[in-house]
Chain A
């Protein structure tokens, strides 16, 4: 029973981690808290759903399309709402407020187009196959979710640590000004980071859509709260922290639903956030606390 819950927690937590990596990447590099990440996540889920219903695409294609759609949207937000602010001195809350505006626009338009109803993937989209390992039953869906999430995490960590682009991103995260002086095209790095981070959010969106089989205009809200809790828990701007924080939150939620009650599931992320702010505000791996915007 406990091991079964553990498997469920792993599937849930890895999606949280995927969402939070994008979130924390944008914070670490662009130094903004993008409150539009939930809306970007929702658009990814809808894009994935569209290719499945219209073109009968397989899950992997759906995820790739969702990532593309979210990535492009993330670039658009950066170009339209955040870049104009970077060009001059701005108050440190300004970019955050601009992204709240973007989120509101995106959600409202999606609601106008798709209505308030809940969309589902076709019935036979994901075969209900499951595999037994000792006492644990893993569904094909869970294996796909964990597999995709882990591979994407590995890819983004590889890109950041081992490629020239990753080096540029890390130097811009350290200091955009110094990076610019050294000839790194900072604006392009910002844009690429926004694309990569949003694409991860989109992948999380498609996976969540498949997992709960419920896609609607407001699905980004709950995961926003969780994403915030996860990146504060792990330390803002830290990729390892986002992964670990996501898994911890997934674990805490599944266990509380299994052994306590499901009524307050949505409040757990806040409880975790509150405790971490009390005892260790920098988060598990954090070092960002002293930097002020």
Chain B
């Protein structure tokens, strides 16, 4: 039995690592969706975080914790810059701006020398341990649990339900939206840093629009009423391709189908919350 478990773990530990990272990414988009905004830039934020953290450990020999922190801070800073002008406007503008932003990040990664251009970064030291993932995930779950009944969390919910009403009530809607977006970018950056230090290899292609759609699908399938939804959605969608390897190139079509069907028939996702009246 023990031996079976050992070999099972040997085979599937990377899958488990990936589930944790995808869970963090799902949370990173959840926090913007929770105030009614759609960010399609979280794959790019993950990329910025991954490159930053990897360069910190590779070029500066920085401690892992510091590298991760830097990998979270830079995307958050970039998010503040992009968010400030776009989030003054209605919901669709953030989606459109972040879609273009993802493309810019890819072009920059391809064309500057420190990121290794189209070759990517090879030989990132393996530093991510299982407990790092548990620790980060634990902190995130604690954060989201506390967020729910905090001033910030209630403001976000009010903005999602009706932005105009929320602003009339005196909630500084832009301020909350921008910070939610920046926190999301921070989480995505940390996830990117953790991911980089167990896949050992970074390429600009990994952080494109396809992956942004993957992240969105995690959250939409799980449901965005509570933060458990995105975690469930990301777990299902990370395990599923392992079982559905035979569909090969049509994996993305399946993602698309899930998006369309869930939006039409299951608008609250798998995990729904009972509304208190």
Q: Write the residues of chain A forming the contact surface with B, with a CB cutoff of 8 angstroms.
A: 33, 35, 80-81, 84-85, 90-94, 96-98, 100-109, 111-112, 221-222, 224-225, 228-229, 232, 263-264, 266-267, 269-271, 273-274, 277-278, 281, 289, 291-293
Within 8 A of A (CB), among B216-256: 216, 220, 249-253, 255-256
A267 and B103 CA atoms in complex are apart in Å by: 7
B267–A94 CB distance below 8 A: yes
Minimum distance in angstroms from B40 CB to a CB of chain A: 8
A33–B92 CB distance below 8 A: yes
Given the interface pairs A81-B260, A266-B107, the reply to whether A292 lies near B100 with Cβ below 8 Å is: no
- A109: chain B residues at CB < 8 Å are 250, 253
Minimum distance in angstroms from A105 CB to a CB of chain B: 4
B264–A98 CB distance below 8 A: yes
- A270: chain B residues at CB < 8 Å are 100-101, 103-104
- A266: chain B residues at CB < 8 Å are 103-104, 107
| Set A103, A112, A222, A263: member contacting B249, Cβ < 8 A | A112
- Supply 5 A–B pairs (Cβ within 8 Å), ascending by A: A98-B263, A104-B259, A107-B252, A108-B253, A281-B85
- A111: chain B residues at CB < 8 Å are 249, 252
- B164 at interface by CB-CB < 8 Å: yes
A98–B260 CB distance below 8 A: yes
- A278: chain B residues at CB < 8 Å are 85
B92–A96 CB distance below 8 A: yes
- B11 at interface by CB-CB < 8 Å: no
Minimum distance in angstroms from A268 CB to a CB of chain B: 10
Minimum distance in angstroms from B97 CB to a CB of chain A: 6
| Set B82, B99, B103: member contacting A35, Cβ < 8 A | B99
A97–B259 CB distance below 8 A: yes
A264–B100 CB distance below 8 A: no
A128 and B228 CA atoms in complex are apart in Å by: 60
A97–B164 CB distance below 8 A: no
Tell me the nearest residue of chain A to B91, going by C-beta.
A92
- B258 at interface by CB-CB < 8 Å: yes
Minimum distance in angstroms from A154 CB to a CB of chain B: 28
Minimum distance in angstroms from B105 CB to a CB of chain A: 9
Tell me the nearest residue of chain A to B106, going by C-beta.
A266
Minimum distance in angstroms from B235 CB to a CB of chain A: 20
- B249: chain A residues at CB < 8 Å are 108, 111-112
- B90 at interface by CB-CB < 8 Å: yes
Interface size on B, residues (CB 8 A): 44
A292–B97 CB distance below 8 A: no
Minimum distance in angstroms from A276 CB to a CB of chain B: 9
A97 and B111 CA atoms in complex are apart in Å by: 31
Residues 86-104 of B, flagged 1 when their CB comes within 8 A of A and 0 if not, give: 1011111101110111011
Within 8 A of A (CB), among B51-91: 82, 85-86, 88-91
B93–A281 CB distance below 8 A: yes
| Set A112, A221, A269, A292: member contacting B163, Cβ < 8 A | A292
- A93: chain B residues at CB < 8 Å are 33, 36, 38, 91-92, 95
- A33: chain B residues at CB < 8 Å are 92, 95-96
- B108 at interface by CB-CB < 8 Å: yes
- B259: chain A residues at CB < 8 Å are 97-98, 100-101, 104
- B257 at interface by CB-CB < 8 Å: yes
- B209 at interface by CB-CB < 8 Å: yes
- B213 at interface by CB-CB < 8 Å: yes
A225 and B105 CA atoms in complex are apart in Å by: 13
A286 and B3 CA atoms in complex are apart in Å by: 67
Q: Which of B82, B252, B258 has the most CB of A within 10 A?
A: B252
Further 4 A-B residue pairs, CB within 8 A, beyond A109-B253, A289-B90? A101-B260, A112-B249, A274-B82, A292-B163
Tell me the nearest residue of chain B to A116, going by C-beta.
B249
Minimum distance in angstroms from B77 CB to a CB of chain A: 15
- B85: chain A residues at CB < 8 Å are 274, 277-278, 281
Tell me the nearest residue of chain B to A83, going by C-beta.
B264
A274 and B253 CA atoms in complex are apart in Å by: 31
B99–A105 CB distance below 8 A: no
A122 and B251 CA atoms in complex are apart in Å by: 32
| Set A80, A107, A232, A263: member contacting B260, Cβ < 8 A | A80
A270 and B90 CA atoms in complex are apart in Å by: 19
A222–B92 CB distance below 8 A: no
- A269: chain B residues at CB < 8 Å are 100
| Set A112, A224, A267: member contacting B108, Cβ < 8 A | A267
A105–B107 CB distance below 8 A: no
- B93: chain A residues at CB < 8 Å are 232, 277, 281
A81–B89 CB distance below 8 A: no
| Set B96, B210, B220: member contacting A97, Cβ < 8 A | B220
| Set B86, B91, B107, B256: member contacting A293, Cβ < 8 A | B91
- B213: chain A residues at CB < 8 Å are 100, 104
